Structure 1
Amino acid sequence: MDESGCPRDAPDLGLLRLPNEILIDILELLDPADPGVFALSTLCKRLHYLALPIYLAGHGISDTAELAFQDLVLGSTQLDVLAALQTSLFIHSLKHISCSFSLNSARREYTPRDMDHFFRHMSRLSAFLSNLQRVEEVTLNLKDVNFWTISENPEILETWSPIVSTLLDCVLEKGCKALNVEGGMFIVHPSQFQPKLGPRTVVKRRSAIFDVGHRIGSAFLGRSNIREIADPGKTELGKTAAALETFNIHSRMLLLPPCSTWTMSALKTSPNLTSLSIMRVDIPERSWDEILSSIHVPALEDLTFDLRCKIRAAAFDQFLARHPLIKTLSLGRDLIALAEGDVASKDCLANLRHLSATPTYVRFLMTDKRAPAVQTLRLVVKVASNAIFKTAAINCILVPCHPRIERVHLTLVVIVDHVSSHWAEFFQDSEEPGENIVPQEKNSLQHARALELVATSASDAFEALALRLLPLFPALQSLSASGCSNNSLNAPSFVSRVKEACPELQRVTLDGRIYDAVF
């Protein structure tokens, strides 16, 4: 190639004799998404800079110069463009890239080629990221991934580890600050339920596809495409994970073998990781003790657990003791209740400021001067056909930490999980004599300053139910309802009536719309 990036026999190519303006006019006459436009971009450096932006624009990526400040979102049907992106010489950094993958082994027409196609997209994403100088945030959306197999051959698991680990290693190598992995059904073999979460040495794995972009780019720039192979004994994930600050694990894939070893190693070797979220992950309960015992994130400040499982009190207490810097803790509505005698260590969570949890976990964490620095408390209560809303029972659970609750900003979050539009059995019609009787001076719920109602289905009886509920909270200053009311609700009239029931009320929010309740 000459200095302009054209082949040395360019004079024999009539196309390259034309000025750039004419070449662009010609290229714009073509279908921009035509693979031929991409093929032209690989002929020489000059055509690369002219043709590739046109080809990418044909796939919805119109302003590559702004990708360092904008989001690049690729749906599962757009991932073929990664083959072109990995050759780019003019995309140097990304603010945020989100890729949605698709794989469904339950389809009758499923073949191993579908999995190969899935892995090819992951490898191309790795190749694209490897050519960048920096990427700030990465989201891997696996919600359309459903990988099941009845095969008793555990070797099929080994096909996942090299591809997924290489991609995740590459993400961290590029200085990623926030990594989000979401969704996906991923159950392939019973061996996944016996995880081995010991220390792991990361070995860089490179497939032939992975280095395509690097090799083409090297050819354009006149550099050698021979890369030094890392010594497995000297490669440490901690050297590449220094920038990671937020890790959202919302996929079971990262917590089951073979990928769990990478996840645990990343958590242990990310010195600046301050925010960890593990949500919507359904794995056997017996695995959680091992997972909790394997997680050690010294700098952790924000922690979210939203799981449908049971966590042993002792294992959870030990986990919290290893993370004394936690300031914000959010525990989801579906965690199975703790036993009455379960309490955290007295010196646990000395820095905790903001807590969101169900009643038994609030008692576990706040009894007898535990978590002394808590300022705001979101008390989460789930109401379903088998969980009636009983204020006496809730107050009874909270008695050991009642003096603390008096001094914090209390928000009661009631999640109504009723399919029926009438929210049948929301209240218990009558309580047994003497059942859960709590003196008024130990009524914790009366101190609630905010009430949030969140429903899975709208109710015809919402207005009547709210008016019956509000007098229980005389200190209430704000009311929020989401998904609760149907279209027949007269909002101004409703605000006036709830104001009468709760004189201290200042603001009402209905499905995101705010109404001033100060008259």
Structure 2
Amino acid sequence: MFLGQPAEEFQLLSLSTELLLLICELLDLTTLLVLAKASKRFHYLALPVYLARHGLPDSEPRSLALRSRAEILALPGLTLSLSITSLDHLLFDLDGVEDRFAWAVHHLLLFVHKLTEVRAVTLRLGNFMDYRWVDGFGTVNANPHRGDSDLTRLLTTILNRKCTSLTVIHGHFLASVLASIPAKAATATKRPDPGSSASSLTNLLKCPLHITHRRDTTKRVLYRNHLHTFGVHASILFMQPFYDWTIETLNTSNITSLSLRLSGMTSRALGVTLSNLTIPSLVTFAAETVAISFTDLHQFLLRHPSISHLHLHPHLNYHRSTKLPRRAKKKFLPQLTSVSGSARNIKVLLGQVPPSGLAQLQSITLSLPAHQRVFQSNDFEDLNKGIGEVLRSITPRELVVRFSLPFDKSREERLEVGENVASSFRSVEALTFCTDGHFAFVRWILPILPMWLTTFTSLRHLTLADDCAPSEPLTHTDFLRSVTERCPKLEIITLGAKEHRLLKS
């Protein structure tokens, strides 16, 4: 009740800091926020108490993660803070606050707007599958025809704050509600009938609007922001009103790394989207979307000879496409130095490259299916075939083997290996083992791994990720002894976070 009176009357500011802190501890959240606006001294006394009640530290963080509901509800206080002016990384997770979706996005917009810069941003939009988010999304997207929602303004503001890395995750919505949101017809190649179902976002999700961009880059203002890394892991970015923003951002940014991890989109929709993209600066590309056909991917890669790091889907196989394109006559991925994916995907991709064009390929990451059972010698023979299928006529120096549970056992195929595989195995100097988080590597593979390592006769650096490294001290010691005896050229063994350098006589 003293807040409405002049400070001089109660001499509140003349009280000691200890007494003011005791008073702050007795106030509710709303009053603390009002008090933090009263003066600079009250700001530095009341705001830390406000943030602490929301589970946030009162320090000056360089990274901020808002995951829980309480942390997200602290946004008004974070916006008010005088100490938080810039961030290196911001994580914002909306999963679990569907009923406050509009409120959360609006206040995040206000918070980001007051920052001078935020270098890396990760937005988890959540999967809103019930009625609670409907009103919120409608509020955030108040004028979808114009596309000037809080969410699009938030994305634009993030880019204007010198953001170099942006990842947007999830964002799956009820199709029945999306159907009520009108599409922006002005950019479509064909204008749908307003009364037909083709005007709904349900159909736009299946076939996004085809935007015709000028090919004359001299008339286009490029690199209007600092964005270099863009993770499109939310299907909503390829629906209106966000589709135009996404395409424009991809075509007018100096993007060196692009990741597509989408769901709910058809091959035709993704083909149209990829055909609208030309990113001359692209170096790293992750095509981890199920519905991307190899033909569309092939055309995209032909337009981007600058790509040196390529990540394919770790499970699904492109060779199941009805018709694969012929080997490209012009140079295909001339700068490719590393590639990852399933054995079949990598084999099909490298089949488009003449053998002379693989001289720079030095690093391969293979996702190989493995069964949760005791491994026998013939099981390692199958794994050798899986690796050899990719390494045929290639001599990489780095190999990463990622064990994963079979994605679809019924579709598993046996692989055959040619006679020249041994020479490829001998080229590997650095070998890394990791898993998908579900395969018990320590139990099934580790006991007889040292014997298998003898296949890699030039091995100098062995790495086992945290989920592959032995945890028991005795097992740890026995493994190191066994490996060093069988692999005399080994110089470094990295188990989890600990590196062991071997002394050579």
Structure 1 residue aligned with 2:208, among 185, 196, 209? Answer: 196
Compute the displacement of 1:494 (Å).
Answer: 1.8
Provide the aligned length of Structure 1 versus Structure 2. Answer: 441
Aligned match of 2:432: 452
Compute the displacement of 1:36 (Å).
Answer: 0.9
Task: In structure 1, give the amino acid aligned to 2:123.
Answer: L
The 3 A distance-change label for structure 1 pair 392 and 26 is: closer
Structure 2 residue aligned with 1:82, among 60, 75, 78? Answer: 75
Aligned match of 2:460: 477
The 3 A distance-change label for structure 1 pair 344 and 330 is: farther
Judge conservation of contact 1:301–1:327 (CA < 8 Å) in 2. yes
Distance 1:21 1:374 in 2: 71
The 3 A distance-change label for structure 1 pair 448 and 147 is: same
Structure 2 residue aligned with 1:351, among 335, 346, 349? Answer: 335
Aligned match of 1:263: 246
Note the alpha carbon deviations across 1:18-39, whole angstroms, 9 max, x for none: 5466478424532276321212
Judge conservation of contact 1:101–1:118 (CA < 8 Å) in 2. yes
Aligned match of 1:290: 272
Structure 1 residue aligned with 2:31, among 4, 20, 36? Answer: 36
Judge conservation of contact 1:245–1:274 (CA < 8 Å) in 2. yes
Aligned match of 1:176: 163
Distance 1:18 1:149 in 2: 48
Structure 2 residue aligned with 1:299, among 281, 292, 310? Answer: 281
Structure 1 residue aligned with 2:300, among 310, 319, 332? Answer: 319
Q: Secondary structure, in 3 states, of the residue corresponding to 2:95? A: strand
Distance 2:78 2:278 in 1: 36
Aligned match of 1:222: none
Structure 1 segments of 4+ aligned residues over 6 angstroms from their partners: 155-158, 237-240
Structure 2 residue aligned with 1:242, among 225, 231, 234? Answer: 225
Task: In structure 2, give the amino acid aligned to 1:246.
Answer: T
Compute the displacement of 1:181 (Å).
Answer: 2.1
Distance 2:16 2:503 in 1: 67
Task: In structure 1, give the amino acid aligned to 2:429.
Answer: R
Structure 1 residue aligned with 2:370, among 384, 394, 407? Answer: 384
Compute the displacement of 1:288 (Å).
Answer: 2.7
Q: Secondary structure, in 3 states, of the residue corresponding to 2:454? A: helix
Distance 1:396 1:96 in 2: 40
Judge conservation of contact 2:343–2:366 (CA < 8 Å) in 1. yes
Q: Secondary structure, in 3 states, of the residue corresponding to 2:459? A: coil
The 3 A distance-change label for structure 1 pair 350 and 449 is: same
Distance 1:50 1:332 in 2: 51
Q: Secondary structure, in 3 states, of the residue corresponding to 1:314? A: helix
Judge conservation of contact 2:102–2:137 (CA < 8 Å) in 1. no
Compute the displacement of 1:93 (Å).
Answer: 2.8
Compute the displacement of 1:126 (Å).
Answer: 0.4
Note the alpha carbon deviations across 1:346-394, whole angstroms, 9 max, x for none: 3233333333344444442473146556252214131235999343465
Note the alpha carbon deviations across 1:226-261, whole angstroms, 9 max, x for none: xxxxxxxxxxx9799512122223334434555344
Task: In structure 2, give the amino acid aligned to 1:118.
Answer: F
Task: In structure 2, give the amino acid aligned to 1:132.
Answer: L
Structure 1 residue aligned with 2:419, among 435, 439, 448? Answer: 439
Compute the displacement of 1:478 (Å).
Answer: 2.8
Aligned match of 1:207: none
The 3 A distance-change label for structure 1 pair 379 and 53 is: closer
Judge conservation of contact 2:212–2:276 (CA < 8 Å) in 1. no
Distance 1:512 1:331 in 2: 27
Q: For residues 19-30 of structure 1, what are the structure 2 equivalents within 5 Å?
A: 19=13, 22=16, 25-30=19-24
Distance 1:414 1:80 in 2: 39
1:278 matches 2:278: no
Distance 1:441 1:122 in 2: 54
Compute the displacement of 1:123 (Å).
Answer: 0.6
Q: Secondary structure, in 3 states, of the residue corresponding to 1:86? A: helix
Aligned match of 2:180: none
Q: For residues 392-403 of structure 1, what are the structure 2 equivalents within 5 Å?
A: 392=385, 394-396=387-389, 398-399=391-392, 402=393
327-336 or 71-80, which moves further after superposition? 327-336
Q: Secondary structure, in 3 states, of the residue corresponding to 1:120? A: helix
Judge conservation of contact 2:295–2:325 (CA < 8 Å) in 1. no
Query: What is the TM-score with the length of structure 1 in the denominator?
Result: 0.71
Structure 2 residue aligned with 1:415, among 390, 403, 408? Answer: 403
242-251 or 326-335, which moves further after superposition? 326-335
The 3 A distance-change label for structure 1 pair 199 and 124 is: farther
Taking only the aligned residue pairs, the percentage that are identical comes to 26
Compute the displacement of 1:462 (Å).
Answer: 2.5
Query: What is the TM-score with the length of structure 2 in the denominator?
Result: 0.72
Compute the displacement of 1:176 (Å).
Answer: 1.6
Q: Secondary structure, in 3 states, of the residue corresponding to 2:74? A: helix
Task: In structure 1, give the amino acid aligned to 2:65.
Answer: V
Aligned match of 1:217: none
CA RMSD of aligned residues (A): 4.2
Judge conservation of contact 1:197–1:294 (CA < 8 Å) in 2. no
Any gaps of 5 or more consecutive residues in structure 2? 177-201, 214-219, 373-378
Structure 2 residue aligned with 1:251, among 234, 249, 260? Answer: 234
Distance 2:103 2:427 in 1: 56
Aligned match of 1:492: 477
The 3 A distance-change label for structure 1 pair 499 and 410 is: same
Distance 2:400 2:421 in 1: 18
Any gaps of 5 or more consecutive residues in structure 1? 1-6, 104-113, 202-236
Distance 1:383 1:102 in 2: 31
Task: In structure 2, give the amino acid aligned to 1:453.
Answer: F
Compute the displacement of 1:341 (Å).
Answer: 7.0
1:336 matches 2:317: yes
Aligned match of 2:499: 514
Judge conservation of contact 1:317–1:344 (CA < 8 Å) in 2. no
**Hey, which of these two has a bigger chunk of helix by percent?**
2
Compute the displacement of 1:297 (Å).
Answer: 2.2
Compute the displacement of 1:119 (Å).
Answer: 1.5
Task: In structure 1, give the amino acid aligned to 2:85.
Answer: H
Aligned match of 2:181: none
The 3 A distance-change label for structure 1 pair 310 and 41 is: closer
Q: Secondary structure, in 3 states, of the residue corresponding to 2:452? A: helix
Compute the displacement of 1:177 (Å).
Answer: 1.8
The 3 A distance-change label for structure 1 pair 292 and 508 is: same
